[in-house]
């Protein structure tokens, strides 16, 4: 069966350091992988999308990599700030799926301390 795994343990990190989150998947061939941010009691907010033929994508302090051989995406927050504290979700879409039929991981909570 399809499985999308994110580290369930919270990532505690000091301000200024780089936070690295992992999204692993099995029995799945995504064409696109997305990362979302979710704050407590709020809906997910789209951050970045990376295609299967792209190795890396950047947006400001965020960087995403996508390794289809390892079936893994890494999400980096550089120079982390307390305002980056949230839960980060990865979501996958297959080429054959309708857009919006996202398969989500359970998310990893990031806590950035001053």
Partner 1 sequence: DADVTQTPRNRITKTGKRIMLECSQTKGHDRMYWYRQDPGLGLRLIYYSFDVKDINKGEISDGYSVSRQAQAKFSLSLESAIPNQTALYFCATSDGGGPGNTIYFGEGSWLTVV
> Is 36 or 80 the residue whose CB approaches partner 1 more closely?
36
Q: Which residues bind partner 1 (CB under 8 A)?
A: 4, 8, 32, 41-46, 49, 51, 89, 91, 98-107
**Using an 8 Å Cβ cutoff, are 61 and 78 in contact?**
yes
Closest CA to 37 of 113, 114, 95, 110: 110
Please say which residue, 93 or 112, places its beta carbon nearer to partner 1. 93
Q: Please name which of 113, 11, 34, 20 lies closest in space to residue 74, comparing C-alpha atoms.
A: 20
Structure tokens at 114: 């001053």
Closest to partner 1 by CB, 80 or 86: 86
**In the complex, what is the shortest distance from the CB of residue 95 to partner 1, in angstroms, rounded to a whole number?**
11
């Amino acid at each position: 069966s399809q499985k999308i795994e994110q580290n369930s343990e919270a990532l505690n990190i000091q301000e200024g350091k780089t936070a690295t989150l992992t999204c692993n998947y099995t029995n799945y061939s995504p064409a696109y992988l997305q990362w979302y941010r979710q704050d407590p009691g709020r809906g997910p907010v789209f951050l970045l999308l990376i295609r299967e033929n792209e190795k890396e994508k950047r947006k400001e302090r965020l960087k995403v990599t996508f390794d289809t051989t390892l079936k893994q995406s890494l999400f980096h927050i550089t120079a982390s700030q307390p305002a980056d504290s949230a839960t980060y979700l990865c979501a996958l879409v297959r080429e054959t799926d309708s857009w919006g039929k996202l398969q989500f991981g359970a998310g990893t909570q990031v806590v950035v301390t001053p």
